[in-house]
Amino acid sequence: MTGLAGQRVFVTAGATGIGATLVRRFTEAGARVAFCDVDADAVAAQTIGTGHVADVTDEAAMAEVFKKVEAELGGVDVVCANAGIGGPAGKIEDISLEDWQATLNVNLTGTFLTTRWAATQMRAQKSGLILLTSSTAGLFGYPFRSPYATAKWGIIGLTKTLAMELGSDGIRVNALCPGSVTGDRMDRVVANEAKARGISEQEIRDSYVVGVSLKTWVTADDIADTALFLASDAGRKISGQAMAIDGHTETLNA
Ligand SMILES: NC(=O)c1ccc[n+]([C@@H]2O[C@H](COP(=O)([O-])OP(=O)(O)OC[C@H]3O[C@@H](n4cnc5c(N)ncnc54)[C@H](O)[C@@H]3O)[C@@H](O)[C@H]2O)c1
């Protein structure tokens, strides 16, 4: 893929998981990459990219990070608003206000703060790509995960809206919609959901591919492949899209 060398990239929640893979893959492609993460130990352990410790929901802490990233990179070409938490699993009657608000706060408010800064930077230079991380849960109803599904549908609304608001300044905005990604996070999600629904973890795991055409989970590298494609010259006319990387989900209700 061409056009990635020398790009200035910022990734939220970049110390582990999908974010760490984005940091690694953009770096391998020749980009200069900075990231933030709330987990100080994980930031210290990450040897690729320039890491900063910050919670994406903390406006003051993120303002500090943005200032440092501007100084380090001299601007930004690609921003991956990747931070998100799975939130609680359970019937709507059992979801606490605290859990509801925490899920919307990280997934939506954190993304708002990050994209607001990205827009300011990119409008000044009249170019850029903003990638927001939604989920297949942003494309379908998702029983027992109402706060997460609500937040991830919100991400797609923000993507469509910002693509329209920023397009005339040469800024592209797309959403990445991963399916079930192998790794620690999904191990935790599966355990929680099994407990909430009173069935085994294996039954939950199997149920995740029943409604998937390719009968597969995906990897963080599958997500990074799409991010790099969108940031490359080949993606230059793609904006306002919610791109599912999921083996084609037919239904989440299987
Ligand atoms: N893993 C999946 O199967 C999957 C599927 C669809 C969508 N997603 C989305 O992809 C994104 C990344 O998911 P993941 O699986 O890598 O997550 P993860 O749970 O593995 O967490 C990755 C990192 O996020 C950091 N983080 C959490 N809250 C933060 C905050 N408030 N501020 C800064 N950093 C924070 C953690 O410290 C961790 O290092 C999320 O938006 C998630 O909703 C994941």
Convert the pLDDT of each residue in 145-184 to its tens digit.
999 999 999 999 999 999 999 999 999 999 999 999 999 8
Domains and CATH numbers, the chain: 8-245 (3.40.50.720)
* Test site for ligand 1: of 37, 66, 219, most ligand atoms within 8 A of the Cβ: 37
Which residues are annotated as catalytic?
A: 148
132 in contact with ligand 1, CB cutoff 6 A: no
Ligand 1 centroid to 120 CA: how many Å? Answer: 25
Ligand 1 centroid to 85 CA: how many Å? Answer: 5
Structure tokens at 167: 């397009």
Average pLDDT, the chain: 96
State the pLDDT confidence band at 42, using cuts at 50, 70 and 90. very high
Q: What pLDDT shows up at residue 43?
A: 98
Q: What is the mean pLDDT of residues 39-53?
A: 98
> Smallest Cα–Cα separation from 31: which of 64, 66, 68, 80?
80
Q: What pLDDT shows up at residue 21?
A: 98
Q: What pLDDT shows up at residue 24?
A: 98
Q: Are 194 and 89 in contact (CB under 8 A)?
A: no
13 in contact with ligand 1, CB cutoff 6 A: yes
DSSP 3-state of 193:
helix
Q: Are 78 and 9 in contact (CB under 8 A)?
A: yes
State the pLDDT confidence band at 93, using cuts at 50, 70 and 90. very high
Ligand 1, atom 17, residue with closest C-alpha: 17
Ligand 1, atom 40, residue with closest C-alpha: 84
Residue 207 has pLDDT above 90, yes or no: no
Q: What is the mean pLDDT of residues 107-119?
A: 98
Residue 31 has pLDDT above 80, yes or no: yes
Ligand 1 centroid to 114 CA: how many Å? Answer: 15
10 Å CB burial of residue 72 (0-12, 13-18, 19+) is: middle
- Please state, in angstroms and rounded to a whole number, the distance separating the CA atoms of residues 12 and 108: 13
Q: What pLDDT shows up at residue 254?
A: 58
Q: What is the mean pLDDT of residues 178-202?
A: 90
